[in-house]
Chain A
Amino acid sequence: MIPEIGHFALILALCVAVVQGILPIYGAAVGNSALMAVAKPAARGQFLLVLTAFCCLGYAFAEKDFSVLYVAATSNSQLPLHYRLAAIWGAHEGSLLLWTFILSLWMFAVTLFSAHLPDATRSRILGVMGLVSVGFLLFMLTVSNPFERLIPAALDGRDLNPLLQDPGMVIHPPMLYMGYVGFSVAFAFAIAALLGGNLDAAWARWSRPWTTVAWCFLTVGIAMGSGWAYYELGWGGWWFWDPVENASFMPWLAGTALVHSLAVTDKRGGFKVWTVLLAIMAFSLSLLGTFLVRSGVLTSVHAFATDPKRGLFILAFLAVVIGGSLALYAWRAPRVGLGGSFAMVSREGMLLANNVLLVAAMGSVLLGTLYPLFLDALDLGKISVGPPYFDSVFVPLMVPAIFLMGIGPLAQWKKASLPDLAKRLQWAFGVSVVTALALPVVMRNWTPLLSLGLLLAIWIVTTAVVTLRERLTHVNGNTLVERLASVPKSYWGMLVAHCGIAVFIVGVTMVKGFETEKDVRMNVGETATIGDYTFRFDGAQDVVGPNYTAARGTFSVSRDGRETTVLYPEKRRYTVQNQVMTEAAIDPGLLRDLYVSLGEPLNEGAWSVRLYHKPFVDWIWGGCFIMALGGVLAISDRRYRIAWRRQEPAVPASTRTARRKVA
């Protein structure tokens, strides 16, 4: 009964979404405020309906209702409750429901925080989001219904993939989807602007916090996925340029470009057309990412073809959303206008360069991800594009972008002088070069890449210090603390996010430069040394978990004769799917991780073992979280709160831009 209620709620949600997608947009076009007023209650109603459906599926999982096909396919009676609930997004149908749920959550948020928007703009935004929702609800209801019954009911479920039975996997998909779907708000703002034909600085200010929030979620989501892969896959890698990862990374690149381009539109009224295009791009890539991962097309394009209805729907939906919005863009963008002019050496110029580089990087990732799929689909042979391709393309594209990242915040808007910039940055440059050259020599392992990585990281930090110092001379306040406090939060946000990149680069550089790994056969009592650490294997015992049995190894780690830690890696066998899983044991640290994973049992209690010493690896994820923290700081800035409180900001904001244009 409960699953039927969920199913019915989805059907109702579809009806509401259709209404929400048509009436308000039509109302905005003809200026009918009664029709426009439909948007808000419709969005809220849809949120309640999808929430109901979501809870119904959760209930089916909690109650182990194996007469629901999806529940039977992704859970098991022995699976602990928290993993049963996480299994809601453990496979295709449920993750679509999660997607739709988060979309309705964002819509609900828009209805809450849009009191300051003009009616027509709000109606268009909610209308566009309603249309996106129509697509997803239709997709679910026609070809991937999570509430489909299995008759007769299964005696027990097939269990959740053991890899997903992990706390990281419980949080990672919702975070990622908050990011993906969050871009739908930026997308809806862009489409609304195209429909309305007015795109001013106020528009940019409204859509900026939404975009930044989405970007923060996506950053954290990707970092968590990477962390999960690091400890769960059992061989210590943190990024593989795998299509699944690329699928989430491409919207991030486009979103990062969008965040920067929006800054120009907000502050200077420039980059308007480009900003709109980036918003369309970020959301289109989010859609593409969702479908790439969830349609099974990555496993095999032929698997995709075995269910042609699903495949066709996805292709049609992507074509309608991307093609439709690009067509609208081509038609309406000329009306939006280009914005003010600027010199090549100016903050706008550098942000433009940053955008071009980010989009080029995105394009190269797109090529490497989709080209093998195209070849395979056309039966032209099977290829794969390895990590070396991405490494060799990505580094040269990002190096100039990061170099500009140091200069950009110091450059004046409209026109800056190169000699002046060089003078202001001379000591930052000197310090960076000297440290980057000296540090690896001190650490006795000089490689060009090591120096380059350190150079970029130190460059970011030193230029941030210079930027902050200059900024402090321009703000009011008598003491240093007062002046620090009067630097706007958004400015702090930018500095913090940039320093997050520096931390990230340090992590990547140090891991690449100094990590050591060893695959060894270890008898009981035998030791192996890696880095400064000695690992002693004290044998393996059998342990029993809730839904698995495992061999648990004991490793005593010591350094200079003193015991550092004891690690317990496991080799688990999940009984339902009879699947073997490596559970690595990690001793994390600020400066290094020690990592042990069990390979296979050999004769006489010996095991093949994989040992890693990974310096600074946690900085990789730490950097991502610092970036996201910067985003949070930026949106807590007063200027957005003022915009929210103000009832009709459209008038003063537009007059201000008008004045600027005159000037």
Chain B
Amino acid sequence: MKPRHKRFAFIGLGLLVLGVATVLILNAFQSNLVFFFTPTQVASGEVPQGRSFRIGGMVEDGSLVRENDGLTVRFIVTDTAKRVPVTYKGILPDLFKEGKGAVAQGKLNAEGTFVASEVLAKHDENYMPPEAAEALAKAKASGAQQSKSLVVPQGRQGREGSL
């Protein structure tokens, strides 16, 4: 091969690899996006059917019920406007509490109950799902508290529960 041909072959191969990688990546990306919805959006039917998504809000006070097997729990997630019942089988994260923020991932069943495959809670007492936080923001957030709030490596969310 002449050097020029060789260079073309090089560039061609490189582009091919890049193209395949891009297609692969975008394809996987598209099919693995998980969207986030608020209870209000769930109530108004904006959520996708048969596809896994996340809801977030406050766990309503007094709504947590444990079944006899000790592992299945039912609770209600609310954004103070609408309420969504959630069931989950498994061990809840440490920071899961009534009256606190939580995010759950799963699907909506025919009865309108959200069947969670995992329940997430960020490992930080201050963490609130942004929607829930916004609702409470007026009451809670003052400038002084803001500057004192801890910033910890809270990204390692406890992905509690089995997939």
Contact = CB atoms under 8 A, between A and B. Distances in A.
Given A244-B156, A396-B24, 15 more contacts: A91-B151, A158-B148, A161-B152, A164-B152, A233-B156, A234-B158, A237-B159, A245-B156, A296-B151, A344-B6, A353-B17, A356-B18, A368-B29, A519-B91, A608-B91
Nearest to B37: A382
A341 interface: yes
Contacts of B157: 240, 242
Given A74-B150, A393-B24, A519-B71, A600 B33 contact: no
Nearest to B35: A383
Interface residues of B, number: 53
Contacts of A298: 154-155
Contacts of A125: none
A599 B92 contact: yes
Nearest to B154: A299
Contact of B94 (A164, A247, A520, A580): A580
B109 interface: no
Contact of A521 (B17, B33, B71, B94): B71
21 contacts: A74-B150, A90-B152, A234-B94, A235-B158, A235-B160, A240-B159, A244-B153, A245-B155, A245-B156, A294-B153, A295-B151, A298-B155, A299-B155, A302-B134, A356-B17, A381-B36, A382-B130, A385-B34, A389-B29, A519-B89, A519-B162
A364 B133 CA distance: 31
Interface in A537-584: 577-582
A344 B10 CA distance: 7
Q: Which 3 pairs of residues, A with B, have the shortest CB-CB distance?
A: A244-B155, A521-B70, A382-B36
A209 to B, nearest CB: 30
The SS class assigned to the B binding surface is: mixed
A659 to B, nearest CB: 22
Nearest to B130: A300
B53 to A, nearest CB: 9
A132 to B, nearest CB: 22
A306 B151 CA distance: 13
A610 interface: yes
Contact of B35 (A73, A356, A382): A382
Given A383-B36, A392-B28, A521-B70, A302 B150 contact: no
Contacts, number: 152
Contacts of A579: 94-95, 125
A293 interface: yes
Nearest to B90: A519
B140 interface: no
Nearest to B3: A341
B152 A580 contact: no
Contacts of B130: 300, 302, 382
Contacts of A353: 17
B35 A240 contact: no
Interface of B: 3, 6, 9-10, 13-14, 17-18, 21, 24-25, 28-29, 31-36, 54, 66, 69-71, 89-92, 94-95, 122-125, 127, 130, 133-134, 146-148, 150-160, 162
B155 A73 contact: no
Contact of A381 (B31, B35, B89, B124): B35
Contacts of B159: 235, 237, 240
Contacts of A244: 153, 155-156
Contacts of B35: 381-383
Contact of A384 (B9, B28, B54): B54
Nearest to A237: B159
Contacts of B125: 577-579
Contact of B36 (A299, A384, A599): A384
Interface string A360-387: 1001100110010000000001111110
Given A602-B70, A608-B70, A299 B127 contact: yes
Contacts of B151: 91-92, 294-296
A386 B24 contact: no
A343 interface: yes
A158 to B, nearest CB: 7
A242 B71 contact: no
Given A229-B156, A393-B28, A344 B13 contact: yes
Contacts of B156: 229, 233, 240, 242, 244-245
A307 B147 CA distance: 9
